[in-house]
Amino acid sequence: MSRRARTRFRPLDGILLLDKPTGLSSNQALQQVRRLFRAEKGGHTGSLDPLATGLLPICFGEATKIAGLLLGSRKAYVAEAVLGATTDSDDADGQVLRQRPVPEIDDARMEAVLAPLRGRIRQRAPIFSALKQGGEPLYAKARRGEAIEAPEREVVVERLEVTGRDGDRLRLLVECGSGTYIRSLVRDLGEALGCGAHVSMLRRLWVEPFVAPAMHTLEQLQALAGQGDEALLACLLPIEAGLAGLPSVTVDADGEQRLAHGQPAPLNGPAPGAEPVAILDRDGRCLGIGRADGDAIAPSRMFRWAVAGQ
């Protein structure tokens, strides 16, 4: 009996803009992509529900050091809400808990319900979510049938609009900050209307700074993998692409050495007005990210090529 060849993983740095398919968890999608690229190290930048599709930035190698920045970025979604039924997961993958008739809803009523869900709001997470409580994801507790008091937290919803309606189905456009649950928005919308609602479709459109992303599906990546490394690796973006929009500072050779040893480097110009800050060498290559500290720049996460002697 023949044995399948063991995958030989390799060091690989860069960012892939994956168009996640429905039916896979974000981690399952990550592992499939990591095997295709044979990347030693990889991580994703914020979970998408198995039901959801769309942009899932995948960070390989040193790019995992900026994954936290992407996780905290603004995001945009298109969602479909089904009125009249609530589920235990707040989406179509869950069990129906209650069904209620859908009332007549005119534009004025809809706007009155949407308005309180915009801006800086308090939101209760779904019980089937990756949010951790006592060191364990809520979904693990929910699957065991434990009683869960999902926490509330403050989130920012910059845009929430109904862009279409077909019977009891609403199409929504959402732009929001980090930590916002679209399922919770739809659940709360349904309760405000008095009929309940759940998400039947969810697609992430963009994640800053990738606001017009050229995404790649798993099928496309598998086809490219069959053509060889050159075609597949052409899909990767440099780490700098994930830092677009951040203020930057340029350091000289002495500054590089200081930063490589974890020491602050003097600023050669005005201090940036925000943090984190991208740290560049004289050739424009990104060495890592840091923070302004008076008249110096202090290292936060430096890439391996910034280490002295490499």
Tens of pLDDT along 219-239? Answer: 999 999 999 899 999 999 999
16 neighbors 58 (Cβ within 8 angstroms): yes
User: All domains of the chain, ordered by start, with CATH?
Assistant: 14-72+210-241 (3.30.2350.10), 80-161+174-195 (3.30.2350.10), 246-306 (2.30.130.10)
pLDDT tens figures, 136-186: 555 554 565 555 666 788 999 999 999 999 999 999 999 999 989 999 999
Q: Is 229 a catalytic residue?
A: no
Classified as helix, coil or strand, 91 is strand
Range of weakest confidence among 34-43, 80-89, 288-297 = 288-297
Strands 248-250 and 277-280: parallel
Q: How many Å is the Cα radius of gyration of the chain?
A: 22
Q: Which of 49, 90, 91, 188 is catalytic?
A: 49
Measured in degrees and rounded to the nearest 5, phi and psi for residue 141 equal -65, -40
- pLDDT-based confidence at 306, cuts 50/70/90? confident
- With 0-12 / 13-18 / 19 or more C-beta atoms within 10 angstroms meaning exposed / middle / buried, residue 108 is exposed
Distance of CA 190 to the CA centre of its chain: 25
> For the residues 9-33, what does the mean pLDDT come to?
95
Q: What is the pLDDT at residue 309?
A: 47
What is the distance between the alpha carbons of residues 288 and 55, in angstroms, rounded to a whole number? Answer: 24
